[in-house]
Amino acid sequence: MSYSSDAPLRLAGGRLAIDFANTADWASDNTVIDENLVTTEDVRIWADALGLPRSLQPGSVEHLKELRAAVRSLLAGQGDTAHAANVVSQTLQGADWQGVLGDVGGNPGQTDKATVAQLVAVSLVSILSDEREISRVKLCPGHDCGWLFLDETRNGRRRWCLMETCGNRAKARRNYARRREAGN
Protein backbone atom coordinates (compact mmCIF):
# COMPACT_ATOMS: atom_id res chain seq x y z
CA MET A 1 0.00 0.00 0.00
CA SER A 2 1.27 3.48 -0.68
CA TYR A 3 0.04 6.94 0.15
CA SER A 4 -2.76 8.63 -1.71
CA SER A 5 -2.53 12.36 -2.28
CA ASP A 6 -6.24 12.79 -1.51
CA ALA A 7 -6.30 10.95 1.83
CA PRO A 8 -4.98 12.70 4.94
CA LEU A 9 -1.94 11.13 6.57
CA ARG A 10 -1.99 10.21 10.23
CA LEU A 11 0.86 12.00 11.98
CA ALA A 12 1.30 10.89 15.57
CA GLY A 13 5.03 11.07 16.23
CA GLY A 14 5.48 14.66 17.23
CA ARG A 15 8.91 14.90 15.57
CA LEU A 16 10.05 14.52 11.96
CA ALA A 17 12.19 11.44 12.62
CA ILE A 18 9.41 9.72 14.56
CA ASP A 19 6.78 10.46 11.91
CA PHE A 20 9.25 9.10 9.36
CA ALA A 21 9.61 5.85 11.33
CA ASN A 22 5.82 5.65 11.24
CA THR A 23 5.65 5.50 7.45
CA ALA A 24 5.15 1.76 7.99
CA ASP A 25 3.18 -0.40 10.38
CA TRP A 26 5.47 -2.71 12.31
CA ALA A 27 5.15 -6.19 13.80
CA SER A 28 6.59 -6.90 17.24
CA ASP A 29 9.60 -8.59 15.57
CA ASN A 30 10.50 -5.30 13.81
CA THR A 31 9.30 -6.39 10.37
CA VAL A 32 7.14 -4.16 8.23
CA ILE A 33 3.49 -5.23 8.06
CA ASP A 34 2.18 -2.39 5.91
CA GLU A 35 4.53 -0.37 3.69
CA ASN A 36 3.68 3.22 2.75
CA LEU A 37 6.93 4.26 1.04
CA VAL A 38 6.74 2.50 -2.29
CA THR A 39 7.62 5.29 -4.74
CA THR A 40 9.28 8.70 -4.64
CA GLU A 41 5.78 10.16 -5.02
CA ASP A 42 4.90 8.52 -1.67
CA VAL A 43 7.89 10.34 -0.16
CA ARG A 44 6.65 13.62 -1.65
CA ILE A 45 3.12 13.10 -0.30
CA TRP A 46 4.52 12.36 3.17
CA ALA A 47 6.87 15.39 3.03
CA ASP A 48 3.98 17.63 1.89
CA ALA A 49 1.83 16.41 4.80
CA LEU A 50 4.56 17.52 7.18
CA GLY A 51 4.94 20.88 5.44
CA LEU A 52 8.50 20.20 4.31
CA PRO A 53 9.81 22.34 1.44
CA ARG A 54 8.98 21.02 -2.03
CA SER A 55 12.59 21.62 -3.06
CA LEU A 56 13.82 18.77 -0.84
CA GLN A 57 15.33 15.91 -2.79
CA PRO A 58 13.44 12.68 -2.04
CA GLY A 59 16.42 10.41 -2.67
CA SER A 60 16.35 6.66 -3.11
CA VAL A 61 13.31 4.90 -1.65
CA GLU A 62 15.50 1.91 -0.73
CA HIS A 63 17.91 4.14 1.20
CA LEU A 64 14.97 5.82 2.93
CA LYS A 65 13.61 2.43 4.00
CA GLU A 66 17.04 1.49 5.39
CA LEU A 67 17.22 4.82 7.22
CA ARG A 68 13.68 4.33 8.54
CA ALA A 69 14.64 0.95 10.01
CA ALA A 70 17.71 2.58 11.58
CA VAL A 71 15.64 5.42 13.06
CA ARG A 72 13.18 2.94 14.52
CA SER A 73 15.96 0.74 15.88
CA LEU A 74 17.67 3.64 17.64
CA LEU A 75 14.49 5.19 19.03
CA ALA A 76 12.96 1.90 20.19
CA GLY A 77 16.28 0.43 21.34
CA GLN A 78 15.69 -2.69 19.24
CA GLY A 79 17.74 -4.54 16.68
CA ASP A 80 21.31 -3.87 15.61
CA THR A 81 21.78 -0.35 16.95
CA ALA A 82 25.45 -0.26 15.88
CA HIS A 83 24.44 -0.82 12.25
CA ALA A 84 21.60 1.70 12.67
CA ALA A 85 24.02 4.34 13.98
CA ASN A 86 26.28 3.68 11.00
CA VAL A 87 23.39 4.19 8.54
CA VAL A 88 22.53 7.52 10.18
CA SER A 89 26.17 8.61 10.24
CA GLN A 90 26.58 7.84 6.54
CA THR A 91 23.42 9.79 5.78
CA LEU A 92 24.81 12.83 7.55
CA GLN A 93 28.20 12.64 5.82
CA GLY A 94 28.81 14.45 2.60
CA ALA A 95 26.03 16.99 3.03
CA ASP A 96 26.66 20.62 2.14
CA TRP A 97 25.56 21.74 5.60
CA GLN A 98 26.36 25.40 5.03
CA GLY A 99 24.18 25.32 1.92
CA VAL A 100 21.45 23.42 3.73
CA LEU A 101 21.42 25.29 7.04
CA GLY A 102 22.58 28.72 5.89
CA ASP A 103 25.39 30.67 7.46
CA VAL A 104 25.75 31.82 11.03
CA GLY A 105 24.77 35.34 9.98
CA GLY A 106 21.18 34.23 9.58
CA ASN A 107 21.01 33.70 5.83
CA PRO A 108 18.45 30.97 5.16
CA GLY A 109 19.63 27.63 3.81
CA GLN A 110 18.85 26.25 0.40
CA THR A 111 16.56 23.28 0.75
CA ASP A 112 17.30 22.21 -2.82
CA LYS A 113 20.66 21.05 -1.48
CA ALA A 114 19.08 18.91 1.24
CA THR A 115 17.58 15.46 1.08
CA VAL A 116 14.68 14.09 3.06
CA ALA A 117 17.07 11.55 4.55
CA GLN A 118 19.42 14.26 5.84
CA LEU A 119 16.63 16.20 7.54
CA VAL A 120 15.31 12.99 9.12
CA ALA A 121 18.81 12.16 10.36
CA VAL A 122 19.21 15.64 11.88
CA SER A 123 15.83 15.27 13.59
CA LEU A 124 16.91 11.90 14.98
CA VAL A 125 20.17 13.29 16.33
CA SER A 126 18.23 16.09 17.97
CA ILE A 127 15.96 13.60 19.75
CA LEU A 128 18.83 11.35 20.80
CA SER A 129 20.75 14.36 22.14
CA ASP A 130 17.95 15.41 24.46
CA GLU A 131 17.65 13.10 27.46
CA ARG A 132 14.12 14.27 28.25
CA GLU A 133 12.89 13.69 24.70
CA ILE A 134 14.41 10.25 24.28
CA SER A 135 12.91 9.20 27.62
CA ARG A 136 9.45 10.17 26.32
CA VAL A 137 9.63 8.24 23.04
CA LYS A 138 7.16 5.38 23.37
CA LEU A 139 6.07 2.41 21.33
CA CYS A 140 2.32 2.03 20.76
CA PRO A 141 1.06 -1.25 22.19
CA GLY A 142 -1.78 -1.41 19.65
CA HIS A 143 -2.31 -4.67 17.77
CA ASP A 144 -0.13 -4.68 14.59
CA CYS A 145 0.73 -1.00 15.02
CA GLY A 146 4.23 -0.57 16.38
CA TRP A 147 4.25 3.17 15.81
CA LEU A 148 6.47 5.40 17.88
CA PHE A 149 5.34 8.66 19.42
CA LEU A 150 6.70 11.39 21.67
CA ASP A 151 4.66 11.57 24.86
CA GLU A 152 4.40 15.29 25.50
CA THR A 153 1.69 15.03 28.14
CA ARG A 154 2.45 16.66 31.46
CA ASN A 155 2.29 13.42 33.44
CA GLY A 156 3.95 11.25 30.75
CA ARG A 157 1.07 8.77 30.67
CA ARG A 158 0.06 8.82 27.01
CA ARG A 159 -0.39 5.23 25.92
CA TRP A 160 -1.53 5.13 22.29
CA CYS A 161 -0.11 6.55 19.07
CA LEU A 162 -3.58 7.87 18.24
CA MET A 163 -6.59 7.47 20.48
CA GLU A 164 -8.96 7.45 17.50
CA THR A 165 -7.33 4.30 16.10
CA CYS A 166 -5.37 2.10 18.48
CA GLY A 167 -6.90 3.49 21.67
CA ASN A 168 -10.47 3.06 20.44
CA ARG A 169 -9.77 -0.47 19.20
CA ALA A 170 -8.37 -1.45 22.60
CA LYS A 171 -11.38 0.08 24.38
CA ALA A 172 -13.73 -1.81 22.06
CA ARG A 173 -11.91 -5.11 22.73
CA ARG A 174 -12.10 -4.56 26.51
CA ASN A 175 -15.79 -3.67 26.27
CA TYR A 176 -16.53 -6.75 24.16
CA ALA A 177 -14.65 -8.97 26.63
CA ARG A 178 -16.58 -7.50 29.61
CA ARG A 179 -19.94 -7.99 27.89
CA ARG A 180 -19.05 -11.52 26.90
CA GLU A 181 -17.93 -12.35 30.42
CA ALA A 182 -21.07 -10.80 31.93
CA GLY A 183 -23.21 -12.89 29.55
CA ASN A 184 -21.71 -16.17 30.81
In a domain, 37, yes or no: yes
CATH (domain of 117): 1.10.3300.10
d(CA 131, CA 126): 10
In a domain, 158, yes or no: yes
pLDDT tens readout for residues 11-31: 888 899 999 999 998 887 888
**Amino acid 150: pLDDT:** 93
pTM check: above 0.85: no
pLDDT tens readout for residues 128-151: 999 999 999 999 988 778 889 999
In a domain, 3, yes or no: no
In a domain, 73, yes or no: yes
d(CA 147, CA 96): 32
Residues present in the chain in total: 184
In a domain, 10, yes or no: no
Helices (H), the chain: 16-21, 40-49, 61-76, 81-92, 97-101, 116-128, 131-135, 168-183
d(CA 59, CA 42): 12
Q: In this prediction, what percent of the chain has a pLDDT beyond 70?
A: 86
pLDDT tens readout for residues 87-97: 999 998 877 77
